């Protein structure tokens, strides 16, 4: 059932000397992931600040894996597997989150990774995942529109953590963010003028060839990003 799905996000920081090894893992782990029982969807991701969504945002010392599982036991079994063991071997820090899909619309690589969750109430912290594939001829307009929205995002009340994510530095853009509550996320999404303006322009100008937005309950999180607990 869709309602049993859980998602996980692992974020690894690697020292400079391990960047080549991280690039190898980004390529080599795809095959291992395809063979993982209970795995519905997975993306190995580069990360960045998400402030401009151009190549200058990219952080070669931080990498991530977003995965969606049939159920919690499948996610639990993966924690002791070879993929994570190899990443831990080269990383000098890790942050991991366990999430439950609350709402989702759109597609990622022509899939609906989070399914179509039943509407449900959640009173704790929430995470948002956004992802878009840009129409190449619309990219410049998108990049020009991003900085005010990004600045407003990082100044928004209730934001606890935000990370730019993507399968490539250019053209495949996304964010992962954690908020104190659904109300705080809603306030940014619907009440803040910079974001509202970009949503309107997106619909009018057709910037995206594909887009996805998902809201997830943050069930648990542990570890550090940049030497600190990002939710602390």
The answer to whether residue 172 scores a pLDDT higher than 80 is no
| Domain ranges (residues) in the chain | 2-221
The pLDDT, as a whole number, for residue 24 is 96
Quote the CA–CA distance of 194 and 148 in Å, as a whole number: 6
The pLDDT, as a whole number, for residue 170 is 58
pLDDT digits (tens, 9 = 90+) for 129-163: 999 888 888 777 777 777 677 777 777 899 999 99
The pLDDT, as a whole number, for residue 91 is 98
Q: Choose the CATH number for 2-221 among 3.40.309.10, 2.102.10.10, 2.40.30.10, 3.30.70.100.
A: 3.30.70.100
Confidence label for 14 from pLDDT (cuts 50, 70 and 90):
very high
Cα Rg of the chain, angstroms: 17
The pLDDT, as a whole number, for residue 232 is 83
Confidence label for 221 from pLDDT (cuts 50, 70 and 90):
very high
Can you tell me the mean pLDDT for 203-215?
85
Quote the CA–CA distance of 220 and 231 in Å, as a whole number: 11
10-24, 38-52, 114-128, 174-188 — most confident range: 10-24
The pLDDT, as a whole number, for residue 226 is 92
pLDDT digits (tens, 9 = 90+) for 19-32: 999 999 999 999 99
Structure tokens at 137: 């001829």
Q: Where are the alpha helices (DSSP H) in the chain?
A: 19-34, 72-79, 82-90, 139-154, 182-186, 193-205
Higher pLDDT, 208 or 211: 211
Quote the CA–CA distance of 113 and 115 in Å, as a whole number: 6
pTM of the predicted model as reported, rounded to 2 decimal places: 0.89
Confidence label for 2 from pLDDT (cuts 50, 70 and 90):
very low
Quote the CA–CA distance of 137 and 58 in Å, as a whole number: 22
Can you tell me the mean pLDDT for 48-66?
78
């Amino acid at each position: 059932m869709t309602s049993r799905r859980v998602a996980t996000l692992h974020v690894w920081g690697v020292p400079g000397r391990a960047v080549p090894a991280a690039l190898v893992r980004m390529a080599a782990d795809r095959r291992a992931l395809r063979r993982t029982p209970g795995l519905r969807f997975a993306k190995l991701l580069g990360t960045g600040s998400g402030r401009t969504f151009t190549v200058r945002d990219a952080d070669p010392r931080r990498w991530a894996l977003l995965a969606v599982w049939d159920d919690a036991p499948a996610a639990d079994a993966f924690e002791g597997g070879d993929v994570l063991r190899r990443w831990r071997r080269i990383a000098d820090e890790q942050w991991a989150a366990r999430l439950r899909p609350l709402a989702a619309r759109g597609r990622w690589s022509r899939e609906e990774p989070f399914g179509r969750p039943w509407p449900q109430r959640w009173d704790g912290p929430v995470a948002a995942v956004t992802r878009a594939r840009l129409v190449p001829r619309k990219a410049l307009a998108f990049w020009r529109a991003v900085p005010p929205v990004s600045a407003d995002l990082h100044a928004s009340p209730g934001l606890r953590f935000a990370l730019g994510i993507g399968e490539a530095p250019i053209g495949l853009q996304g964010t992962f963010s954690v908020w104190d509550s659904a109300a705080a996320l809603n306030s940014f999404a619907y009440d803040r003028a910079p974001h509202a303006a970009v949503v309107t322009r997106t619909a009018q100008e057709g910037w995206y060839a594909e887009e996805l937005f998902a809201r997830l309950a943050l069930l648990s999180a542990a570890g550090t990003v940049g030497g600190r607990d990002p939710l602390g």
